Amino acid sequence: MRIAVLVSGTGSNLQALLDAQAAGALAPAEVACVLSNRPGVPALERAARAGVPALVVDHTRFAGDRAGFERACLDELAHHQVAAVVLAGFMRVLTPLFIDAFPGGVINTHPSLLPAFPGADAPAQAIAHGVKVSGCTIHFVDARVDSGPIIFQAPVAVRDDDDAASLHRRIQVEEHRLLPQATALLAAGRLHRDGRRVRVS
């Protein structure tokens, strides 16, 4: 199954997917292209180094026109015959116009144990709230922010001396492990949605 990875920045989760692919652990998923909404980000260099087409649709060219931005993304991805999408640090909200275009689904990784701390800066939210455990969530994307059916979660203990950055680094270790696994299972047709529940066969 040909998948697109959508990114906005550093791309460490993209790197985990590319490394899994190189190790033969992403099949039957194949990273067909990488699309960023921001030009010049390190994630694009990671794609280029791996020989994967790196596309840019700069959202600032579509001020206030979310549908126009999404249609431009869909046009780019259509050239690469993509059946499913993985959001890996993609910092734009997507609507059903985009989400419903992919029969294989759209999945995301989020650095908290949802439904706690949706939205931006989840590790900072967790520190500010004083929770003792946070973690990551791999989930299907639906019409609301960080709300879709949950595929995998992993807990990460919060240490007394953690700040948002140190907590986020340990959460990302879990994301890098689980996002490639979820992507391979998605492509293999082994993720079954039943309402909010996701079963792995």
Known catalytic residues are 110
Nearer to ligand GRF, 46 or 73 (CB): 46
Nearer to ligand GRF, 71 or 92 (CB): 92
Binding site for ligand GRF (CB under 6 A): 9-13, 88-89, 109-111, 172, 175
Check: CB of residue 23 under 8 Å from CB of residue 50. Answer: no
CB of 32 to ligand GRF, least distance (A): 18
Shortest gap between Cβ of 158 and ligand GRF (angstroms)? 16
Q: Which is nearer to ligand GRF, 11 or 148 (CB)?
A: 11
What is the C-alpha separation between 186 and 190, in angstroms, rounded? 6
Element (H, E) at 154: strand 150-157
Phi, psi for residue 112 in degrees, rounded to 5: -160, 170
In the complex, minimum distance from the CB of residue 6 to ligand GRF, in angstroms, rounded to a whole number = 11
- Amino acid 121 reads D
User: 53 CB contacts (<8 Å, ≥6 apart)?
Assistant: 32, 33, 34, 47, 80
By beta-carbon distance, which residue lies closest to ligand GRF?
89
